[in-house]
Every structure is written in structure tokens, then in C-alpha cells.
Amino acid sequence: MIGTHPCAGPSCEGRTDDVTDSAGTPPEPDRPAGASGPGTPAGDAPSDQGAAGKGRTPTGGGTGGGKSAGKGAGRNSGKGGKKRRQRTARPAEPAPRPVAVPAGPATPRRTRFRPRGLRAIAFVGAVVVLAAAGVGWWLYKKLDENITTDLSAAEELERYERERPSALVRGARNILLIGSDTRAGSGNAQYGRDKGTQRSDTTILLHLAAHGRSATAVSVPRDLMVWIPSCRKRDGSRTSPQFAQFNWAFERGGTACTVRTLEKLTGIRVDHHVVIDFRGFKDMVDAVGGVRVCVREPIDDPDARVNLKAGARTLNGDQALGYVRARKSLGNGSDTERMDRQQQFLGALVNKVQSNGVLLNPTRLYPVLDAATKSVTTDPGLDSLKDLYDLSRAMRSVPTEKVQFLTIPRRPYRDNPNRDELVQPRANSLFKRLRDDEPVVVVPGDGQNETGSGESSRRKRGTSPSSTPTFAGTNAAVRTCR
């Protein structure tokens, strides 16, 4: 008969209870006959038992008759009956139910790997970050500890604070750079015997204008005749005030005496000082990979330990030191030509340090910082890596053409042509502009003739004597050798 299910009865019920799905999960408990979920068509019952029960319904839903069941129910029952016959034709295969599909062998491993893999990556990343931070901190401490602090000079300057000039312009800074010719220390003995003293082989007053407008480096001749105040010597005794050449101040009273002598000469407040020796200068040049300069004429100076041919040359540390120190074998043996070479060399060094090849290359930048910090002695205001970094950043912000070099206006001393004296009033005019942080105009000129350089420059420029004074010098953007 059409209304009779081929597997209805106790035998089928027992068989259905024993059937399990491929995952080993027993079938759901049978629903009461004729029961179905809300909104679920009778023909789509999720279990064989429910389908069988509906198949025994005496209404004969498969024929489409029975008004009590309703037209829609009859259609569903008829379709459901056909589906039931197709599904129950094979009793061993129960009707499909929404069961979880067992994952393949790769799925559990991926599920376990992801969190473990992420944790491993995070752990490695944390280790790398901590290691980098540790190395960075170690390098910072190493560079910071390289710097030597000159506490004795700071204490001596503190004693004379009342007589020192005041800083007039907020934001402007004046830093005294002293190149010591001491033979003490590793690598310096080849330049002569260590007599237990040191002199200022090179002295430069670096004026950094407020707001980074310019940087003006003024060379102070070592043979300039000046008044040196009473200063404290290394052994604790004191010198008498005297009129002598400028570098005696450093030899007899050290850094503090040099600072006080320059302040009395110029009326400019020295905010910081930096002392660098021969070895430090050489290491700096080698660290940047050498500096290219133009040697105007051959140099053969045994005292300076340098022998160079004329022309464009890239100098290493030893050659550079001899180049900026040579004096006796060139010109008249005075400091004039030597200071010119020093200024040109410093301009080339500034260009090299500011180049991307140094600042943006850690393998080149670190040796420069290491050499710089090892070789300098500073006051407490510049004795940390952060302080020096802030200073270098201020210098780096200055346009190259605004980094200027000049020498204090001077001429041969009237009582001794081997010494220098100031040219007035030009020297005082320069000092005032630096004190007031006013622009200093530097033009190419012959540094040996400071007396007439201002007049000749005005005639060339067609300006009146009352206009801004000019001084012979150069800037870091000028290429002396092409």
C-alpha cells in the first residue's frame, strides 16, 4: 500500500536505535509521532522515526485528500511521502542530520599552531626589542662615560663670577674651542717631548646665533699680545698679572685662565669650553673617512711631520694634523697662513660631517661619536652625550653658507714683528656685534692685511663707511679646490 512505510514496526525501531553516524555520535532521541518543530514541514523531518510515524497517518496524505489537514499540509505530506520512500530504501543509512563534520588531520594542527606561533613571534620580537634597547643603552653609557669633565676650571671660574661679563642675548651661545698641544697621552709623543705643560695650539671662539641663524668661528692668534690676569696654577700657586702672548694663559693657568683672558679682551661671556688634543683630532678625521682639502703649495714640514704635494688631497688623521699645524716651512712662519688653513680645513670637516654618508650611516656615525667623546674635556654644562648632541643639532640646523670663519683683526706687534696686536676700532666692532648677536658679514680677503680689508671690501661693494662692517674670512660652503 502507498501509505505503509516499508520499515515500520519494532524491528525497524531497534535497528534505528543502533545506527550511529561516522563520528560515533548516537542519533538524537525519537520525537513523538506526528510532532514537528515550529515551521518545519512534515516531509522534511530530521529523523527516520518521525518520518515513519507520519507515514502511518491514516489521512492518506500521499493522495492529496483529507480536507481536515488543509491544502498546504496535503501537498507537504505528499512530497514528504515520496522523500521518505527514497530515504528509507536503505535502512543502514539514516537520513542526514546537521552533525559536525569531522576535521581532517591538518585542521587540529593548524588550530594548535596559530596561537603557539603567534606567541613565539611575539616572544622573539620582545627579545629583539629588549636586546636592541640594551645595546643602545650600553652604547649610550659608553659614549657618555668617554667625556671628561673639567671640574677644576668650573670651580675657578665660579670664584670670579662677579667680574665675568653677562650674557646679553637669550638663546645665543659662545663656546671656546681649545686645541691643546700637549704631548701627554697615547699617540702624542711623536710630536715632541712631554715637558709637563700644554699650550693652546689653536683657540677658536664659536658664536652660535639665536634661532640657528648662523655660526661664526673666530680664530684667536696664539701670539696675540694681551693682558693675562692672575691665575691659579696646577700646583696651587698663583701667577702675577702680565702682558704676554695669548697662549701663555693656557700654559700657565689652564682652561679657566684662558677663558678669563678672552672675556677680559672681548667682553664676551664664554658659556662653555671644549678642549681637544692631538689624538682626538686625528681620530675624528679618520672616523669620517678623511677630509678633502686643497693644498695650495707643497708642504714639507718635519716638525709638523707632514709632506704633501700641491692639489686636491684627501687627508687622513696624521696628515690632517700636520696640515693644520705646519707653520715654520710656509710663508713667513707666523700664525697667519696656519689659521687660514685651519679655517678651510674646519669648513671641509663640517661639510663632511653634515653629509648623509656620516649622519645617516650608523657604522660611520658611531666611530665619529666615539672619537669625539674620547678626546674632549668639557665644562659640566657639556659633559654628557645629550648636551653634545643638542650642540651638534644646533650646528646642523645652520645653513652651510652661514657657517663662517674669520680671525680677530690684528697686525704685527709694533715692538716685535713675531707677535700680533689688535687692529682698532675694527676688533672692538667685531666683539660688539658678537656680544649683541648681530650679523657678522664675512667676505673673502687677505687675512694678513686686516687694516685695509674693511675699506677695500666697502669700495668693492660700493657701500658707505656707516654700513655694516665686513671682515676677511670664508664660509663652509666655499670650495677652495675644484
**What are 398's three cell numbers?**
645652520
- CA proximity to 57, closest of 79, 82, 34: 34
Residue whose C-alpha cell is 657657517: 403
Q: Which three cell numbers stand for residue 214?
A: 648662523
- In three-state form (DSSP H/G/I as H, E/B as E, the rest C), the secondary structure along 10-35 is HHHHHHHHHCCCCCCCCCCCCCCCCC
Tell me what pLDDT residue 225 has: 96
The pLDDT assigned to 427 comes to 96
Q: What is the DSSP letter of 238?
A: B
- Say if residues 435 and 265 touch (Cβ distance below 8 Å): no
- Could you read off the pLDDT tens digit of each residue along the chain, which spans 482 residues? 444 444 444 444 444 444 444 444 444 444 444 444 444 444 444 444 443 444 444 444 444 444 444 444 444 444 444 444 444 445 555 555 655 555 555 555 554 545 666 777 777 777 777 666 776 777 778 888 888 999 999 999 999 999 999 998 999 999 999 988 754 555 545 544 444 456 667 899 999 999 888 999 999 999 999 999 999 998 889 999 999 999 999 998 999 999 999 999 999 999 999 998 888 888 889 988 899 988 888 888 888 888 889 889 999 999 999 888 887 666 555 677 788 888 888 888 888 887 767 777 777 778 888 888 888 899 999 888 888 878 877 777 788 888 899 999 999 999 998 899 999 999 999 999 999 999 999 998 654 445 444 444 444 444 444 467 899 888 877 765 65
SS in 3 state form for 219-232? ECCCCEEEEECCCE
CB half-sphere exposure, 481, CA atoms < 13 A:
17
Asked if 440 and 216 count as a contact pair (C-beta separation under 8 A), the reply is yes
Own/partner long-range contacts of 157-166 (Cβ < 8 Å, ≥24 apart):
157/256, 157/259, 157/260, 160/260, 164/260, 164/263, 164/269, 165/263, 165/267, 165/268, 165/269, 165/435, 166/269
Q: Determine the residue type at 460.
A: K
Rounded to whole angstroms, the Cα distance separating 199 from 258 reads 10
pTM of the model: 0.67
Per DSSP (E only), the strands in 30-185 are 148-149, 173-180
Burial of 127 (0-12, 13-18, 19+ CB in 10 A): exposed
